[in-house]
Amino acid sequence: MTSIPVTLDGRGSRIEQPEYDALVEEVTRWVRGPGEEWAEKIEATGTVPRELFDQLKQRGYLSMAAPRELGGRGLAFSQWMGLMEVFSRSHASIRMLVHVLNGTWRAINPHVSAAQREKFVVPMVAGDILVAFTLTEPGNGTGADLSCTVRREGDSYLLSGRKHLITFGVNCDYWLLFARLEGSAGKDGVVALLVDRHAPGVEVEDTSQTMGVHGTDHASLRFTDTPVPVDQRVGEEGDGLQIALGGFLTPSRISVAMSCVGLAERAQELAVDYATTRVTFGKPISSRQAISFMIAENEADIQAAKQLVLHAAREWERDAPQAPALSSMAKMTAVDMLTRVTDKALQVHGGVGYWKSSPIERVYRDARAQRFEEGTNEIQKTVVARDVFARAAQHKEDA
């Protein structure tokens, strides 16, 4: 397999500030206008209309984070995070679409051949094909704890096992799937494969009935000797875990953390609007100390989390060694912040906020998904603690 310059993984691009400012303004207008109209349709039908996907594609919103060499807009990762913040104030399924399609290509691009780049990466960036990240398994933990296995027969791998909680797993074109070479153990036996959605020997169960994030499809998958061409392997045998964790999960965790910031800002906006218009005993409730203190705490919470997320984004952008740990710090801090902010924002609304007619109700439901997206906080804490102890050991060794 051939490799590519580091600039093509999204770290080396950047657009000029005036162009970026105009783009932020454009996306903000779309989120507040058409985005809200689409949100109402999604909640009413429980599905994401194909027309929405097409509109996001036509406006270039599904290829913003990719470098121009791949057909993208060429945003720096930290610039993309500024737009992720804006998109996340919209419906959670809109945020999910732009988050996933602006990121999955990044996992495989440094590891593919030139032919694979043309066949898979360029169409992914263009929004012509949808690739679902397929790692999680029922009955297993994370990372190298995989039961899905492959065995090679000639020019194909035969894939067997189960995956679940796979976002876009029902309606995608390919699954970017991680499995273990039969008989192997540890990280060196993990392979990454692009599995055709319509390959034989696959059972797909739609498991999309979720608490929030309505409209996004989720799948449970079962593979029985499913043939996967060897030329659809990404990287070499043994590269799978590096592709999954470094190429996708590290920047994706930062992106999810920023989505928490954006959604928290939307919750705060709704709470402030309600507090300044709801009148009791002749005064807006914003004049009540209990309410104003909740608003103040939310504001500080949001700003603190946002700065950590931006720091993690900049560190990943420059390929800093602590970027993976910082991504986990940002994610666990931001999801805890979002929990507190949305809870207080709903409390500001009183009983009115509990009804589906209130916008805060949807925000409150959608916020819960981020607590396990790209790994629970318990996983993030494990990553962070491992980094802390490793640096402490290195410090002692150097002393």
Determine the Cα–Cα distance for residues 65 and 101; give it in Å rounded to an integer. Answer: 9
Task: Specify the pLDDT at position 4.
Answer: 40
Whether 206 contacts 170, CB under 8 Å: yes
What is the SS3 assignment for 393? helix
Which secondary structure element, helix H or strand E, spans residue 398, and what is its range?
helix 377-398
What is the SS3 assignment for 205? strand
Burial 276-309 (b: 16+ CB within 10 A, else e): eebeeeeeebbeeeebeebbeebeebbeebbebb
The dihedral through the CA atoms of 87, 292, 348, 373 has a sign that is positive
Bridge partners of residue 196, in order along the sequence: 174
Determine the Cα–Cα distance for residues 93 and 221; give it in Å rounded to an integer. Answer: 21
Tokens representing residue 225 in the block:
């000797």
10-residue averages of pLDDT along the chain (399 residues)? 46 88 98 96 94 95 93 94 97 94 92 95 95 92 84 97 95 96 89 97 94 92 98 95 85 96 98 98 97 98 98 95 96 98 98 94 94 90 95 90
The pTM (predicted TM-score) of the whole model is 0.93
Domains of the chain: 6-126 (1.10.540.10), 131-238 (2.40.110.10), 241-392 (1.20.140.10)
Determine the Cα–Cα distance for residues 295 and 300; give it in Å rounded to an integer. Answer: 9
Residue 350 neighbours by CB under 8 Å, 6+ apart? none
Residue 1 neighbours by CB under 8 Å, 6+ apart? 111, 112, 113, 235, 236
Tokens representing residue 57 in the block:
């594609």
Whether 87 contacts 262, CB under 8 Å: yes
Residue 364 neighbours by CB under 8 Å, 6+ apart? 267, 342, 343, 345, 346, 353
Task: Specify the pLDDT at position 141.
Answer: 77
Whether 256 contacts 373, CB under 8 Å: yes
Task: Specify the pLDDT at position 9.
Answer: 61
From the list 182, 180, 187, 140, the residue with the least C-alpha distance to 164 is 140
Task: Specify the pLDDT at position 12.
Answer: 65
